[in-house]
Structure 1
Amino acid sequence: MDFVAGCVGGAAGVLVGHPFDTVKVRLQVQSIDKPLYRGTFHCFQSIIRQESLTGLYKGIGSPMMGLTFINAIVFGVQGNTMRLLAHDTPLNQFLAGAAAGAIQCVICCPMELAKTRMQMQGTGEKKPSRKLYKNSLDCLVRIYKREGVRGVNRGMVTTLIRETPGFGVYFLAYDVLTRSIGFELHDRFMIPKLLFAGGMAGIASWLSTYPVDVIKSRLQADGVGGVNRYSGIADCVRQSVRREGYMVFTRGLTSTLLRAFPVNAATFATVTLILMYARGEGPKDCEEAQPSQLAPTQQEAQPSGL
């Protein structure tokens, strides 16, 4: 049931947050010499004006397919790891989340590569004069034919560096927050509390690893247009800091945090409610519920994707 709940929660999160993700990627990889966007809101306005509303949803096919499986893996692995660890402690929540984050990178990295390439395609054009990729799957197939397995997994190291501690912080923050605000089944503010805890957990996770995400996006976008600028992670960091200063690591942070709260609020609330209903702990049973019958992180310790 962890896996099913993760699938539904992932789909809900993608629908809510993809436009913000498109803005984040555009801001992260735009040229400092000829920037197209002045900031988050200008980027939103420009994309809608130049590429129509559908421009904000470019590349949604990849995360819609991938994040449903990613969330299934993340929530499934996290829940089962917590059961293996037996004790529901903050440290175990972090370790279970980190394990889940590391395992899902196998799907996450190629998915985000395709998403990034699709989001960059036709920048500033309502009807792109030349579409290199038809869709996310076509994008991955073309990259594989040209660069092999290594090309499809471009950015894997930075993805691992981001996802492993990021998911640890994600589940730890959610666990701490649900305990702190007193989440109980008979609480009439149960859903608002779930949304708040999930949203804040997402923000905490992104803040903990955001500089790595900037480098990952730049490496995965590198080569669009046929020009490769970076030879690796260290070279990307060096060039980025030399040309743009350390503030480069905050590029797109505003849109990311605006996206993080609603996406993760929707994801965690959806997953938690599905698991509660599956255990027969829905609203109709709330009057008889005991404080120990809490959200997944509080009882069997379940509850993830960015």
Structure 2
Amino acid sequence: MGEKKTTTGGGLGFYKEYVAGMNAGLATVAVGHPFDTVKVKGLYRGATSSFLGMAFESSLMFGIYSQAKLFLRGTLPDDGPRPEIIVPSAMFGGAIISFVLCPTELVKCRMQIQGTDSLVPNFRRYTSPLDCAVQTVKNEGVTGIFRGGSATLLRECTGNAVFFTVYEYLRYHIHSRLEDSKLKDGYLIDMGIGVLTGGLGGIACWSAVLPFDVAKTIIQTSPDKATERNPLKVLSSIHKRAGLKGCYAGLGPTIVRAFPANAAAIVAWEFSMKMLGIKRD
């Protein structure tokens, strides 16, 4: 069930994990991007970089997570979810994809805030995501495009560990109940389980890491090159000024987005794996 070995038929079949992950990423952006931009305005502004970044990021995340689980499980029996396998696999994948997400999200955030005239003067406007990236490197150096990297790393490692733990345990126990009740698996049942487990996993994830995301956004969109880049210090400053509520700014829209976006990701991932012949059960 949730933690049984994933098989791809041997040979070079491992690439299928990454294709399935890419499809999950595309589904995530298609469903979640409009909700995400509620926090910073501009609906689909910055969507191009989001689609490209998320497709690549999810391909890596789901692929690395699946392969790492296989490696860590080794010859252990398939007797249910194991946190000692799920957590390090998810954190390893999160650490890798943080290097992809940091620059793409910096571009997305800076493009999005241009939807609010009072925040961005005309002379600092970007004509496209590429222009934003080029101007950032030109004005802030190569390290500028990775501004917010520490916050992104903390968010991705923690968030993915929470997400996959909740997802795997829920999926395992729901399937166990279905087997006990003699219900047969079917497309609609699998999709419903995917919606529930992915959605609740997403809510748990963002409830745990939203403060890191708040710190990241502040660090990446600040016009001051000398702005504090330590996410813990940024959060400490926010807490002193606005309390816990300030650290969870945008919680409502984020939770509203988290369920459908992550539900879509899991449904797309699991459906893609089935179509590609990857067996998990």
TM class, shorter-chain normalised?
0.7 to 0.9
Q: How far apart in 1 are the matches of 2:245 and 2:225?
A: 23
Provide Cα deviations, 1:149-178, integer angstroms capped at 9, x if missing partner: 210000001111111121111111110011
Shift of 1:191: 1.0
Shift of 1:65: 0.7
TM-score (norm 2): 0.82
Shift of 1:263: 0.6
Q: 2:162 aligns with which of 143, 166, 169?
A: 169
Q: How far apart in 2 are the matches of 1:228 and 1:155?
A: 12
* Alignment match, 1:71: 58
* Alignment match, 1:6: 21
Q: How far apart in 2 are the matches of 1:96 and 1:191?
A: 24
RMSD over equivalenced CA pairs, Å: 2.1
> Mapping of 1:201-212 within 5 angstroms?
201-212=201-212
Provide Cα deviations, 1:265-306, integer angstroms capped at 9, x if missing partner: 1111011011012117xxxxxxxxxxxx6xx4xx4xxxxxxx
One-letter identity of the residue aligned with 1:115: K
Q: Which runs of 5+ in 1 are unaligned?
A: 27-46, 48-54, 281-292, 300-306
Cα distance change on mapping 1:133 and 1:232 into 2, 3 Å:
same
TM-score (norm 1): 0.76
Q: Which runs of 5+ in 2 are unaligned?
A: 1-15
Tell me if 1:57 matches 2:44. Answer: yes
* Counterpart contact for 2:203–2:255, Cα < 8 Å: yes
* Alignment match, 1:250: 248
Cα distance change on mapping 1:142 and 1:258 into 2, 3 Å:
same
Count residues in correspondence.
250
Q: 1:20 aligns with which of 35, 46, 50?
A: 35
Provide Cα deviations, 1:207-230, integer angstroms capped at 9, x if missing partner: 11111111111101111xxx4573
* Counterpart contact for 2:166–2:204, Cα < 8 Å: yes
Provide Cα deviations, 1:45-83, integer angstroms capped at 9, x if missing partner: xx5xxxxxxx31111111111000000000110111011
Q: How far apart in 2 are the matches of 1:69 and 1:76?
A: 10
Tell me if 1:179 matches 2:172. Answer: yes
Tell me if 1:195 matches 2:195. Answer: yes
* Counterpart contact for 1:121–1:131, Cα < 8 Å: no
* Counterpart contact for 2:214–2:247, Cα < 8 Å: yes
Q: Which runs of 4+ in 1 moved over 6 A?
A: none
Aligned-pair identity (%): 35
* Counterpart contact for 2:111–2:126, Cα < 8 Å: yes
